[in-house]
Structures are given as structure tokens and as C-alpha cells.
């Protein structure tokens, strides 16, 4: 397995603040196919751990000191993370952001997420707006980041403007995904969104390509 890394940018300063690690299975299958099979076989923890450790090892060659590594995780595997003491990786815990998909988070996940926060890891709610528990999750988890699905950006309507204003007001960093052209970028700047991700800003690449 390898990890590809997609940049997340401060679109005001045109600076990369971090990278999202995306698993690339070596057998030619897509990550979704591998995750689905791992769930069926009861090996999801093993897959998640391998993807996480691969990303952390490869990202240690990529990140500058203040850049962040965003890691996707399946809520079912969160309970397996309570043995991360002492911290076994070169990347500091406060450079790590765990992304959990909104529609999959449940109360059962909260203790593990709070444990991660207690050792310095930040939390991001991914695909925000695609589930049904939006504001409740913000109140209960108090994540440092919210990642808005591209569907908000496609519509370019009041919903994204309202989400941006709300996040700014309560101190959550909003990252909008799916920036595909200059029009998207200019719109986000217009509604005071500072952080974004998408093919227009950089496609997922392996470390050796990004370090050229």
C-alpha cells in the first residue's frame, strides 16, 4: 500500500497548510473496494492501521514543521487507537488531524475521539452537510475543522455562505473540498472562506513527486 497526498491550501496566502493522505492499495483495487471487503471479513482495523502507518511514515518525508497531515479513519476502528502512548511516530500529534465522516459518527465513537484530542490530535468532520446530525455533532465534538462537501460549492448558494459565517463565528476552521477551477476559488474568497482543497489546487501525488 502507498499513500498519495493532496494539498490543502490557504487560498488567501497561497500556501499549503497540510495534506490529506489517500490510501492507494497495491493490488489495483480502489480504497472503497478494499474497505468494503475488510468490513465483510472483519479486518477493517488491520486495513485502517496499515493505511495510517503508511501515511505517517511517508508524510514524515514531506511535511514542513508547521504543516498538518489529515488522515481518514473509519469510526469502527477508532477503539484500536487507545494504545498510542508513548507516541510512536516521527510526526508530532499536534500535526495530525483525524477526519471522521459525519454520517458515520455515533455516540460510541466519542470516547475514542476525546482520547485522540487528549494526546494533541485534532479532529475534522468530513463530508459535512451530507448527514443528518450536523449542528448536534458540532456542539458535541467541538471539532477544530469542518470539511464541506463539494455539493455546497456546486450550488454556490446561501447554505455555504451561512456555513462559512457560522464557522467563523464559533471558531471552527472551514475547509471546502472540490475546487475545480478559478471560478470556484474566487467564489470562496468572496464569501470569506480561507482554506480549500481540490484538483485545481493540486491533485493527489506520491511523496517523491511532491518533493521534486
> Can you name the CATH fold of 2-210?
TIM Barrel (3.20.20)
* C-beta of residue 25 within 8 angstroms of C-beta of residue 1: yes
pLDDT at 195 over 60: yes
* C-beta of residue 110 within 8 angstroms of C-beta of residue 140: yes
In degrees, to the nearest 5, what angle opens at C-alpha 35 toward C-alphas 33 and 39?
A: 120
Looking at residue 84, what DSSP letter applies? -
- pTM to 2 decimal places: 0.92
* Extents of the domains making up the chain: 2-210
Tell me the per-residue pLDDT of 34-69, one tens digit each, with 9 for 90 and over. Answer: 888 888 888 888 888 888 889 999 999 999 989 999
Tell me the per-residue pLDDT of 13-31, one tens digit each, with 9 for 90 and over. Answer: 999 999 999 998 887 788 7
- First-to-final CA distance of the chain: 22
* C-beta of residue 104 within 8 angstroms of C-beta of residue 75: yes
What's the length of the chain?
212
Amino acid at each position: 500500500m502507498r499513500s498519495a497526498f493532496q494539498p490543502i491550501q490557504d487560498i488567501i496566502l497561497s500556501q499549503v497548510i497540510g495534506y490529506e493522505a489517500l490510501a492507494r492499495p497495491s493490488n489495483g483495487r480502489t480504497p472503497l473496494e478494499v474497505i468494503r471487503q475488510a468490513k465483510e471479513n472483519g479486518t477493517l482495523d488491520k486495513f485502517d492501521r496499515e493505511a495510517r502507518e503508511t501515511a505517517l511514515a511517508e508524510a514524515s518525508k514531506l511535511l514542513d514543521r508547521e504543516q498538518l497531515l489529515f488522515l481518514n479513519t473509519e469510526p469502527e476502528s477508532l477503539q484500536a487507537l487507545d494504545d498510542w502512548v508513548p507516541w510512536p511516530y516521527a510526526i508530532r500529534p499536534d500535526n495530525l488531524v483525524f477526519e471522521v465522516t459525519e454520517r458515520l459518527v455515533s455516540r460510541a465513537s466519542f470516547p475514542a475521539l476525546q482520547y485522540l484530542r487528549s494526546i494533541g490530535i485534532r479532529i475534522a468532520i468530513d463530508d459535512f452537510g451530507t448527514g443528518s446530525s450536523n449542528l448536534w455533532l458540532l456542539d458535541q465534538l467541538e471539532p477544530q475543522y469542518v470539511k464541506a462537501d463539494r455539493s455546497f460549492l456546486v450550488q454556490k448558494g446561501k447554505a455555504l455562505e451561512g456555513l462559512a459565517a457560522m464557522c467563523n463565528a464559533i471558531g471552527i476552521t472551514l475547509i471546502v473540498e472540490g475546487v475545480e477551477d478559478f471560478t470556484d476559488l474566487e467564489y470562496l474568497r468572496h464569501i470569506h472562506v480561507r482554506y480549500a482543497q481540490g484538483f485545481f489546487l493540486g491533485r493527489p501525488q506520491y511523496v517523491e513527486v511532491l518533493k521534486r
